[in-house]
Amino acid sequence: MTLKQMIAGFVRRHWASYAASALMLLGIALLTVWIPRQVGHVVDGMVAGSLHGEALLRQLALLVGCGVSIYLLRVGWRLALFAAAYRLGRELRTRLYKVLTLQGPVFFQAKRTGDLMALATNDIDAVEMAAGEALLAAFDGSLTLILVLSMMTLGVDWRLGLAALIPFPFMAYAFWRISEKVHQAWQSSLGRFSGLNQHVQEGLAGVRTLRALGLTERNAMQFSELADSAGEASFQAQRWEAAFEPAVGMTLGAALTIALGLGGYFVAKQELTIGQLTAFTMYLGQLIWPMFAAGWVLSLLERGRAAWDRLSPVLEAPITLNDSGSQPLPASATLRFDNVGFGYALAERAALSQVSLTLEPGHILGLVGPTGAGKSTLLQLVLRQFEPSGGSIHLGAYSLPELSLQALRQGLAWVPQEPFLFSASIAENIALAKPEATPAEIEAAARMAAVHEDITRLPQGYATEIGERGVTLSGGQRQRVAIARALLSDAPLLLLDDALSAVDTGTETQILAHLRELRLLRPERSSLIVSHRLSAVVDADHIVVLQQGRISEQGSHAELLALEGGWYATQWRYQQLEASIDAQD
């Protein structure tokens, strides 16, 4: 969809606001062209000595009243228009936000956060201006131009009118060339602003790393270079916009010279009165607004077009996952992988090959293996962040795409290794998936996740606000808050992706014991536990070892230990040894 089509659709939907603004502008234009005519009459009346005393005052009062009405109408159209343009900004931002929440990781891998943030702020502002001010200024400018030209040619003298128009085609050509340059300059300015945004976003998110590596100076220098370059691009756009003004000035200057020369000649020949020539030069002065409006409108439209060129591919990008499924999540169902394969785009090797496994309701499945084996990828497939390239994944009788995405994800409680906490209170973070939870339920979940003691030591306990992304908590505390959040949710399938990596072995044992107790309370809830530490899966009903995307071993803890020389048995011995050395320290 082009900017023109999008704006046309918006104007159709909000025609009443636009019509009200247009009517007010029409009133302004009519009053504006009436003024020089009236002044001409007053001048001629005074020159002829026929207008004086009360009659003159009445005429002057009429002119003042006209000025006040123009002022009020100008305020009125701006209010009506800004209300409409504001709605467009809100509609576009809401649409962008919705699109972004529906896109999967494939989309975000190709996009930078700073870019997306710039789209939601700067670019939408530019589109809003194009649909608001630019559109009505174009209408106003054209209307004034037509009325003023008609008054000049038909109302005063057509020969003088045509002669004064001679310089205008040159101005139109200059405008066309300048607007091309303005478009290029705005495109580059908006792009560089995005780069600047990206730098700020990454710099703030990684500020600890930058500080620890002593890179803050260098980072600040890079920021200053980017800010210079963004400023320079905006300045370049402004420089080109500034070229509109001399073009208007020169054109009007030339038109005025012609009008005064030729008009003076007509006055001398008594074909024109001085009052008419006064009115004509006032009309010429009134052409300044349509000329400036044209420059301003072109610049706003070019900026809007450059912004829309960046915005529309994101708004119209196909959603990377289809959400056509409609089946609700079965209350208690077996998760089944049948010969599942998956490869990331551009990766040489498949991340998962021929993976088949089953997780019965109420059971715990342990998933272990060396780093890069494909464990997190397997969980991502359950979450439907990616689609398998081969085989199928079923929950009960339905394959995952048959379930509605919303229902599927509400049925999964996923805890990643680095969970995301929001800048809200601890209680709100725990109750994220169940906002109606009572304080007692929140506390019970926190106790099971072994984080209750930590929370009570915080200044305001559960009401303590945690910084953005939970920066005020330790890594282990963040993990346990996220586990509490998962345990509180009603989701029947718990997915722990190395979610205990930052807690000590003692706390891990405590949490796992709580999970076992929970099985008694919620016998239908199943868990899929990915872990580097094998102690986390010892009690699992079944353990699967993944190596290079394939299942290399599987069985219970005891069965896997019995596989002499197997990966699990070797790792177990190694980790036990490590634990006993740690204990001696």
Residues 161-200 interacting with ligand ATP (rule: CB under 6 A): none
The rounded distance, in Å, linking the Cα atoms of 250 and 145 is 18
On the 0-12 / 13-18 / 19+ scale of CB atoms within 10 A, 58 is exposed
| 571 in contact with ligand ATP (CB under 6 A) | no
**Beta carbons within 8 Å of 14's beta carbon, 6+ residues apart:** 84, 87, 88
Q: Select from 215, 229, 223 the least CA-distant residue to 198.
A: 223
Q: CB-wise, 324 or 371, nearer to ligand ATP?
A: 371
Q: CB-wise, 326 or 371, nearer to ligand ATP?
A: 371
From the CB of 529, what's the least distance to ligand ATP, in Å?
A: 13
Q: How many CA atoms lie within 13 A of 301 on its CB side?
A: 19
Q: CB-wise, 190 or 351, nearer to ligand ATP?
A: 351
Strand partners, 398: 395
Q: CB-wise, 25 or 373, nearer to ligand ATP?
A: 373
From the CB of 369, what's the least distance to ligand ATP, in Å?
A: 6
Q: CB-wise, 350 or 511, nearer to ligand ATP?
A: 350
Count, in order, helices (H) and strands (E) of the chain: 23, 10
Kindly report the number of other CB atoms within 10 A of residue 143's CB atom.
19
Q: CB-wise, 188 or 479, nearer to ligand ATP?
A: 479
Q: Select from 360, 364, 358 the least CA-distant residue to 392.
A: 358
3-state secondary structure labels for all residues of 92-117: HHHHHHHHHHHCCHHHHHCCCHHHHH
Q: CB-wise, 371 or 584, nearer to ligand ATP?
A: 371
Treating both helix axes as pointing N-terminal to C-terminal, what angle do 274-286 and 158-165 enclose, rounded to 10 degrees? 30
From the CB of 189, what's the least distance to ligand ATP, in Å?
A: 32
**CB of 541 closer than 8 Å to CB of 558:** no
Residues 328-347 interacting with ligand ATP (rule: CB under 6 A): 344, 347
Q: CB-wise, 266 or 344, nearer to ligand ATP?
A: 344
C-alpha separations of 364 from 339, 378, 461, 535 in Å: 21, 16, 32, 14
Quick one: tokens of 556? 């219970």
Task: Give the per-residue contact string, 345-384, with ligand ATP (x = CB under 6 A; - = no).
Answer: --x---x-----------------x-xxxxxxx-------
Q: CB-wise, 375 or 525, nearer to ligand ATP?
A: 375
From the CB of 349, what's the least distance to ligand ATP, in Å?
A: 7
Q: CB-wise, 258 or 367, nearer to ligand ATP?
A: 367
Residues 483-522 interacting with ligand ATP (rule: CB under 6 A): none
The rounded distance, in Å, linking the Cα atoms of 127 and 269 is 54
Task: Give the per-residue contact string, 524-563, with ligand ATP (x = CB under 6 A; - = no).
Answer: ----------------------------------------
From the CB of 337, what's the least distance to ligand ATP, in Å?
A: 14
From the CB of 532, what's the least distance to ligand ATP, in Å?
A: 6
Show the DSSP H helices in 103-167 as ranges.
105-109, 113-118, 124-129, 135-150, 158-165
Q: CB-wise, 351 or 415, nearer to ligand ATP?
A: 351
Q: CB-wise, 96 or 551, nearer to ligand ATP?
A: 551
From the CB of 366, what's the least distance to ligand ATP, in Å?
A: 13
Span between the terminal Cα atoms of the chain, in Å = 67
Please count the residues of this chain forming the interface with ligand ATP, following the rule CB under 6 A: 11
Q: Select from 119, 128, 137 the least CA-distant residue to 86.
A: 128
Strand partners, 496: 415, 529
From the CB of 347, what's the least distance to ligand ATP, in Å?
A: 5
Query: What letter would DSSP give residue 425?
Result: B
391: left (phi over 0), alpha (psi -120 to 50) or beta: left
**CB of 339 closer than 8 Å to CB of 151:** no
From the CB of 22, what's the least distance to ligand ATP, in Å?
A: 51
From the CB of 543, what's the least distance to ligand ATP, in Å?
A: 15
From the CB of 343, what's the least distance to ligand ATP, in Å?
A: 9
From the CB of 458, what's the least distance to ligand ATP, in Å?
A: 30
The rounded distance, in Å, linking the Cα atoms of 546 and 422 is 33
Q: CB-wise, 89 or 372, nearer to ligand ATP?
A: 372
The rounded distance, in Å, linking the Cα atoms of 496 and 493 is 10
From the CB of 357, what's the least distance to ligand ATP, in Å?
A: 15
C-alpha separations of 75 from 35, 67, 85, 149, 337 in Å: 19, 13, 15, 25, 66
> Could you tell me the strand order of the sheet in which 550-555 lies?
412-415, 493-497, 526-530, 364-368, 542-547, 550-555
> Which residues are near ligand ATP by CB under 6 A?
344, 347, 351, 369, 371-377
